[in-house]
Amino acid sequence: MKIWNVHERRLDAPPERVGAILDTLSSKGDRLWPHDNWPPQQFDKPLGVGARGGHGPVRYAVSAYVPGRIVEYRFDGTGLTAGWDGRHLFEAIPRRSHVILRHTIDAAADPKTWLTWFFMVRPMHNALMEDALDRAESRLGIGPKKPARWGWWVRFMRRMAAKKAAESTGKSA
């Protein structure tokens, strides 16, 4: 079954500034990934083709990197996305007067894995991506005009994940 998910934001900023934010992904000075509220994106080496890692239980490797333009990742078949065959990517797409910052997931999965995507991963992913796009606007000094808000399902799943993590470490949530 197909997994297709796109988040994009029009950024009224020069391509060089948007591309510079994209190039900080997974670094100590990451200006795109919303690591203050989500597991950080981390790799075994600096951002570049062949870097392996992910964020939280989502595992992938960098399969293409064009500085300032594209970072593409291939799911590696482990972790939360075990059973996914595909990729996700960030793109900074210059237009005449602005830049489109886009994140796309393009993958296939068996029906059981797709159901997990639809009910669990997708809502969390959507919230994370909107937070990332808000962060890009904030770092560029152009917004966000209306910050993203997590829905009740995302807040509930985050509480359950925090409770489970606390139980596994012997701490109370």
Q: What is the mean pLDDT of each run of 10 residues along the chain (173 residues)?
A: 98 97 97 96 97 96 98 95 96 97 97 95 97 98 94 95 85 60
The pLDDT, as a whole number, for residue 149 is 96
The pLDDT, as a whole number, for residue 16 is 97
The pLDDT, as a whole number, for residue 68 is 98
3-state secondary structure of 80: coil
The pLDDT, as a whole number, for residue 172 is 58
The pLDDT, as a whole number, for residue 13 is 97
The pLDDT, as a whole number, for residue 171 is 67
H or E element: which one contains 59?
strand 58-66
d(CA 42, CA 55): 6
Question: What is the number of domains present in the chain?
Answer: 1
Beta bridge pairs of residue 58? 55, 79
Identify the domain containing residue 18 by its residue range. Answer: 2-169
Residue 117: CB atoms within 10 A of its CB come to 21
Helix 15-22 to helix 122-140 angle (10° resolution) is 130
Q: Half-sphere exposure (CA, 13 Å, Cβ side) for 58?
A: 21
The pLDDT, as a whole number, for residue 65 is 98
CATH code, domain with 67: 3.30.530.20
